[in-house]
């Protein structure tokens, strides 16, 4: 490093760590030591190959265990493997559905208002346990579920005035007749209730004949006019 400028030795100026020539010679070495570009493919690293294979195997195992035996019925939310096996043996898959077990699952939505023990919330949501409506006329309770209920309603001598949502087609929940029948069957035998089961056929009949064309929620006087 020979000083060519007076400033090269000026202690007030920060001096560079290397001269241009030194930098160039280091770069030349680096360039020389780089790999020559070669033609063809470089194989996938072995470890990555194993990893990808392991992923495929993992997914395959998951599918076999969780895809309900690849049965088209597996997309039915009530489907169980046992039902698939029963169907494969020739038994009807439907026969294996327990409406009370299904209704209990569906009731989780009702429980947000009516509470898990069917007690309701005083002043807001009427009880289903021991309720004359829940246990009473099938014609009325099916209508309540299909289209909802609004306005003043007396349950156990207490007056409520809320909105029970519609669960039938066209309502926010859009439940099938099967589901409505199952949840009512569950409600009508739980917590000491004695209402007796309700079939999907009864729900279908009221939806398509008894109350065909109905879209708005029922009121107590309207329901009382129905036997």
CB 129, min distance to ligand HEC, A: 9
| Residue of 93, 110, 146, 211 interacting with ligand HEC (CB under 6 A) | 110
Contact segment (CB under 6 A) with ligand HEC among 11-19, 54-62, 109-117, 202-210 equals 109-117
**Other Cβ atoms closer than 10 A to 215:** 11
CB 163, min distance to ligand HEC, A: 6
Strand locations in 66-187, DSSP E? 149-155, 158-164
Number of residues that bind ligand HEC (CB under 6 A): 29
| 109 near ligand HEC, judged by CB under 6 A | yes
Q: Binding to ligand HEC (CB under 6 A): which residues in 116-175?
A: 125-128, 131, 133-134, 141, 144-145, 149-151, 153, 155, 160-165, 167
CA distance 9 to 7: 5
Token pair of 118 as six digits: 């069917």
| 187 near ligand HEC, judged by CB under 6 A | yes
**Other Cβ atoms closer than 10 A to 99:** 22
| 223 near ligand HEC, judged by CB under 6 A | no
CB 95, min distance to ligand HEC, A: 24
CA distance 149 to 31: 82
Decide: helix, strand or coil at residue 140. helix
| Residue of 72, 112, 172, 225 interacting with ligand HEC (CB under 6 A) | 112
Q: Which stretch of DSSP H or E encloses residue 211?
A: none
CB 135, min distance to ligand HEC, A: 8
Q: Among 147, 187, 182, which residue's Cα sits nearest to residue 168? A: 147
CB 137, min distance to ligand HEC, A: 11
Strand locations in 25-173, DSSP E? 149-155, 158-164
The residue among 87 and 106 lying less far from ligand HEC, judged by its C-beta, is 106
Token pair of 172 as six digits: 């926010």
Q: Binding to ligand HEC (CB under 6 A): which residues in 22-61?
A: none
The residue among 73 and 214 lying less far from ligand HEC, judged by its C-beta, is 214
Is residue 177 within 8 A of residue 207, CB to CB? The reply is: yes
Tokens 């000026």, residue located: 10
Is residue 128 within 8 A of residue 110, CB to CB? The reply is: yes
Q: Which residues bind ligand HEC (CB under 6 A)?
A: 109-110, 112-114, 125-128, 131, 133-134, 141, 144-145, 149-151, 153, 155, 160-165, 167, 183, 187
């Amino acid at each position: 490093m020979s000083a060519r400028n007076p400033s090269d030795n000026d202690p007030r100026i920060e001096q560079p760590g290397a001269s241009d020539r030194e930098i160039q010679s280091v770069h030349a070495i680096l360039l020389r030591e780089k790999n020559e570009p070669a033609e063809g493919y470089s194989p996938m690293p072995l470890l990555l190959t194993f990893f990808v294979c392991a992923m495929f195997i993992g997914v395959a195992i998951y599918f076999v265990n969780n895809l309900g035996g690849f049965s088209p019925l597996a997309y039915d939310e009530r489907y169980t493997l046992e039902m698939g096996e029963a169907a494969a043996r020739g038994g009807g898959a439907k026969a294996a559905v327990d409406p009370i077990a299904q209704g209990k699952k569906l009731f989780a939505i009702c429980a947000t208002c009516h509470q898990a023990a069917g007690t309701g919330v005083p002043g807001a949501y009427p009880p289903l346990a021991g309720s004359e409506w829940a246990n009473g006329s099938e014609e009325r309770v099916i209508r309540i579920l299909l289209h909802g209920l609004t306005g003043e309603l007396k349950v156990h001598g207490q007056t409520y005035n809320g909105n029970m949502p519609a669960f039938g087609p066209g309502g926010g929940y859009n439940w099938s007749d099967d589901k409505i029948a199952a949840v009512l069957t569950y409600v009508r035998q739980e917590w000491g209730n004695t209402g007796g089961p309700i079939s999907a056929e009864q729900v279908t009949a009221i939806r398509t004949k008894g109350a065909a064309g109905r879209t708005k929620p029922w009121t107590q006087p309207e329901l009382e006019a129905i036997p």
